[in-house]
Structures are given as C-alpha cells and as structure tokens.
Amino acid sequence: MSVTTMNAKDILMRAVQCDQVGRILEAQNLYQDGIQILMDLVADEKDVGKKKVYYERIKEYIDRAEQIKERVQKHVIRGELVTNIPIEDNSTGNSYQALFGDYLNADVKEVLLEEPYLQEKYHFQNLVTFLELLVKNCRHIKYVRLVTKTDPKAPENQRNVLEQIKSDMARRNVTLSVKFEDTLHDRKIVLSNGYIIKIGRGLHFFKATNPLYSLGLCDYDFRKCLQTDVDIWRTKNFIA
C-alpha cells in the first residue's frame, strides 16, 4: 500500500470520526481532501476491479460531503432572528465580546467565518482579536473554516500572514482551514451551537484611534465605530 493510499485512509478515517462526534465542518474538509487523493489514485490504477472499488468509495464520500454541505446551508437559511443591534456612527462599547461574546460558549466546537476582506494590517488584527475571543470563550473549539477573497495586490503577504495565524492556532489544538473564494461578498459567522452572527461590515467596523495612543488602542470597547447592523440568528445546531 503506497504512502498516498495510507494518507487517504487516515484522512477518511479521521473524517468519519469527526462526522460521528458532530464536527461536521472539519469532516467535510477531510472528506474533500480524501476524495482528492482517491481521485489521483484511481487515475493511476490499471486494475479494473480495483478501479471500481475506488469509485464506489469516492461516490460514498462525495455523497456524505454533499449531505454536510446541504445541512450547513439549511442551518444558515432557516432560523429565526434572535436580536438586531444597530451600531451608530461614532458609537462605542461595541467590542466583539460586548456584541456577541455570550454566544461564543463551551458548546461551540466549530466555526465557519466568511469574511471577504483580509488584506490590510487592521483586517488581520481584527481577525486575531476575533480568534482570541473564540479561544478564550469556547473551550471545546476544534475547527475554524475561514473563507475569504484573495488579496489582488499582495497575495503572497496575505498567504504568509494567514499561515502564521494557522500555525499559532494549531499550537492551541485548533485547526484553522483557509479557503479562497473570490466571488464572496456576504459576511457571516456560523457557530456550531446554532447561532449565526451577520454583520453588514463583517469584522471591520472599528475606526482607528486618533491620536494613536488613546483609549481604544487595545480595548475595542473604547473604539469609535462605523455605522453597521448586527443580526443574530438562531437555528437548530449542526448535529440536530
């Protein structure tokens, strides 16, 4: 058995394990990785019988990955509005903790974060601030899927910074998986405990401190904000 086959087997076993304990975003990711490796193997395989076995397994995993995709989509579509928080221009007291910290609790195992813009320094700083809160509040967090757009000006720098953040999260036993989708527009944060946070401006609604050394440099509750809306939705959780 080749190294690649071993890898595919390991990956798909981990996928099934994640699936069973309800870590479905991570499972979906692993299914997709496993499927990709099996597809490469089947192309190289001469034996028709073995080819058939591969195809059956590929189909099985594709079906499962599709089911998860649908379940997540349904989860996002259905649901009821829990609260709407309008943020006024120049208002303060709107840190991530103040706005939605209570929904980030011990029940959250996985998070899907769709944030189109991760290109400027302050974008990355906002991402780190969000992840700090996530790691602090959600003690069972295992997996974060981040979907964003490629930075057309400095794609290399963007990849490097996201790689660094990924390594840092890995040291804390959280898998951060980054996907690039250049047609992405909407912003949302989907929590595996059933809450969905939609912010018109995504993570980026804080104004810079001016002058630099003012209250708000570290504690975002003191930062003035741009006008935006925060909608918090509740659906049945992923596992239901």
Smaller CB separation from a copy of itself, 54 or 96: 96
For the bound state, the minimum distance from the C-beta of residue 203 to a copy of itself, rounded and expressed in Å, comes to: 12
**Do the beta carbons of residue 188 and residue 79 sit within 8 Å?**
no
Q: Please give the residues from 98 up to 137 whose contact with a copy of itself meets the rule CB under 8 A.
A: 124-125, 127-129, 131-133, 135-136
Residue of 169, 190, 225, 232 interacting with a copy of itself (CB under 8 A): 169
* Residue 187-216 contact track with a copy of itself, rule CB under 8 A, x = bound: ------------------------xxxxxx
Between 72 and 169, name the residue whose CB sits nearer to a copy of itself. 169
Tell me how far apart the alpha carbons of residues 12 and 31 are, in angstroms, rounded to a whole number: 6
- Cα 4 from chain centre: 27
CB of 224 to a copy of itself, least distance (A): 12
Binding site for a copy of itself (CB under 8 A): 124-125, 127-129, 131-133, 135-136, 161, 164-165, 168-169, 172, 211-222
